[in-house]
Homo-oligomer: A and B are copies of this chain.
Amino acid sequence: MANARKNQCREAREFQTPSSGIFFKAGRIHFEGKSDFQKIQVIRNATYGNVLLLDGLVQTTEKDEFFYHEMLVHPACASHPSPRNVLIIGGGDGGALREVLRYGVTSARMVEIDARVVEVCKKHFPWLRADLKDKRAQIIIGDGNAYVRETREKFDVILVDSSDPVGPSAVLHEKAFYARLKNCLAPRGIIAAQAGSQLFHVDHHAAKMVFLKKMFKHAHIYNGPVPTYPGGTWCYIFLSDAVDPLRSRSLRLPDGLRYINLETFKAAFALPQFMKERLKA
């Protein structure tokens, strides 16, 4: 009883803006520790299930991770005529990997900087444990930015599952990084990247699209809900010299998806008027 009362008082809180945020009552603290890179927490919440926070920012919850991971992976993978060789930058929680493995890929390689995140997530997010048994999956512990500078391999799809454009992952939102990604793309290749909050990062999107539109023939922002992320709607970027997602004729979505279907796929590319105006400006 004393224990229960103690648990009731514990909660995880994320300041999503300097003056507001989200809180989760923690039924149980599964893990709390520091890696070389960041503070890692996994808590149990009655509504959202297991919740992963890095440096206090929500990365993944069992209840709503599918919104994010489906939207990051499928617009690129389903638009590609035949994705074989896929690279994931970041994505230590394994959600993106799980979605990639729905396709007939020959290789799904994840480059995650923080081994501790993978280790902790393997324990508390069951899909990761399962997917790592898949022979096509490969995890490299290392710096994604350095990896794409050095590799000679080419990829059909590259997915950037980084943290936000403000903070330590800022480098993964810069022009030089995208130039390196482009060097690693196979002919007809596609890049998709998480880009930040629709409501709070619109200036970042605008600045980024200025250089991306010069670098790629097709550069689109698309968006969709992620309930536990700041502003509740998240943005992603689709980049390709060969494939326009809105004119793709070979869109083949795998079975078993919970958010994306043909209608929400198209709808994702419709942008609010305030974004359209800011991107034009």
Contact = CB atoms under 8 A, between A and B. Distances in A.
A244 interface: no
A21 B22 contact: yes
Nearest to A61: B20
Contacts of A13: 23
Q: How large is the interface on A (under 10, 10 to 19, 20 to 34, 35 or more residues)?
A: 35 or more
A176 interface: no
A38 to B, nearest CB: 22
Interface in A188-214: 198-199
A123 interface: no
A127 interface: no
Interface in A164-206: 198-199
Interface string A5-45: 00000000100011111111101000000000000000001
Contacts of A20: 22-25, 45, 47-48
Question: How many copies of the polypeptide does the oligomer hold?
Answer: 2
Interface stretch (A99-107, A132-140, A141-149, A265-273): A265-273
Per DSSP, chain A at the interface is loop
Contacts of A270: 261, 263-264, 266-267
A271 B198 CA distance: 19
Interface stretch (A86-94, A109-117, A227-235): A227-235
A258 interface: yes
A21 B13 CA distance: 10
A276 interface: yes
A242 interface: no
A257 interface: yes
A131 interface: no
Nearest to A230: B227
Interface of A: 13, 17-25, 27, 45-48, 63-64, 67, 198-199, 225-227, 229, 231-233, 257-261, 263-264, 266-274, 276
